[in-house]
Amino acid sequence: MSASSPVVEFTDVAKRFGDAPPVLSGITLCAQSNEFISLIGPSGCGKSTLLRLIAGLSPVSGGKLLVGGRPPAQEASDLAFVFQEPTLLPWLTVRRNIEVMLRLRHTPADRRRALADEALSLVRLTSLATHYPRQLSGGQKMRVSIARALTLEPKLLLLDEPFGALDEMTRDHLNEELLAIRERQRWTAFFVTHSVAEAVFLSTRIAVLAANPGHIVHEVPVDLPYPRTPETRLSPAYQTLVAKVSLLLRSVEVSTPHAA
């Protein structure tokens, strides 16, 4: 894909499941190469569904979606998905978990090993390579899950609330680590989250969604310089943005009729 053509392009996309009311409607969004776009919004606004559409896990019901200039399902070879849960195979060691996607693609063993070694060192888990998932903490499991995605050398990384279940300190730490990896590898990211602070810290742009049906109500560019560090969180520009996005999110949540 060339630098000029967008990596992901939504044009008036809608998604419905069966006869139910649409989950997403009128989604128009364009992601350029190397962008880091966070999707934030109330529960049930279709953020995760949006990621699943990009991944080709579910077809669009209306409008047009192009990933790397083509319809989603065919672009999967340079796309990686990180789920909300670590989604590790409990019967495999950390190393074999990281290699599993490559095994599915019949990558030769020595290449597999090299890519896994690199991913292990990127997430600083080399010393735990022979452990089983149950021996790891929540944060470590998530790092294995990210390492596994990175072995695919993705151009497009989809993260579905990957740090939602972690405590705040671990989350901050993993946010910094994710950006550090981004300095060394170039990918475009879509990141679903409930945390405004996390979205501002990571993103180049934040899309705020409202529910019933899910649609994008605001797009907030985040022009804080990279590399971002723990000090970034102390800067007035960061805090102004967090306040701004929080207010936008609150206005969305108030105006969204709740089902329950």
Partner 1 sequence: MSRRALSFLLPVLAGAFFIGLWYVVRLQVIAADQRFLLPAPDAILRAMGERAPMLWSATLNTATGALLGFGGAVALSFTLALGLSLSPLVRASFYPYLMVLQLTPVIVLAPILILWVGPGLKSVVIITFLICFFPLVVNTTQGLISTDRNLVDLFRMSRASRLQEIFLLRVPSALPYFFTGLRIAATLAPIGAIVGDAYAGNSGGGQGGLGFLTIIFSAQFQLPALFATAAVSCLLGFVFAGAVVGLSWLALRQWHDSYQRKDL
Residues 6+ apart with CB under 8 A from 46: 15, 23, 24, 209, 211, 213, 214
How far apart are the C-alpha atoms of 220 and 245, rounded to whole Å? Answer: 8
**CA–CA dist 219, 252 (Å, integer):** 13
Helix ranges restricted to H, the chain: 47-54, 94-104, 109-122, 138-150, 168-184, 196-202, 236-255
Q: Which tokens go with 60? A: 């669009």
Q: Among 22, 61, 78, 83, which residue sits at the site for partner 1 (rule: CB under 8 A)? A: 83
* Residue (of 39, 41, 14) closest to 27 by Cα position: 14
Please work out, in degrees rounded to the nearest 5, the angle formed at the alpha carbon of residue 181 by the alpha carbons of 71 and 218.
55
Instruction: Looking at residues 91 to 150 of the shown chain, list those that interact with partner 1 (rule: CB under 8 A).
Output: 91-92, 100-101, 103-105, 132-134
Nearest distance from C-beta of residue 93 to partner 1, angstroms: 9
Q: Least distance to partner 1 from the beta carbon of 83, Å?
A: 5
Q: Are strands 79-82 and 156-160 parallel, antiparallel or unpaired?
A: parallel
Closer of 122 and 136 to partner 1 (Cβ): 136
Residue 183 CB, nearest distance to partner 1 (Å)? Answer: 26
What are 174's two structure tokens? 């993993």
By CB under 8 A, name the one of 1, 14, 76, 220 that touches partner 1. Answer: 76
Asked whether 53 and 65 are in contact (CB, 8 A), the reply is yes
Instruction: Rule CB under 8 A: say whether 187 interacts with partner 1.
Output: no
Among 33, 34, 87, 251, binds partner 1 (CB under 8 A): 87
Nearest residue (CB) to partner 1, 91 versus 108: 91
Identity of the residue, 134 or 184, whose beta carbon is nearer to partner 1 in the bound complex: 134
Contact mark string toward partner 1, 20..59, x via CB under 8 A: -----------------------------------xxx--
Return residues touching partner 1 (CB under 8 A): 55-57, 76-77, 79, 81, 83-85, 87, 89-92, 100-101, 103-105, 132-134
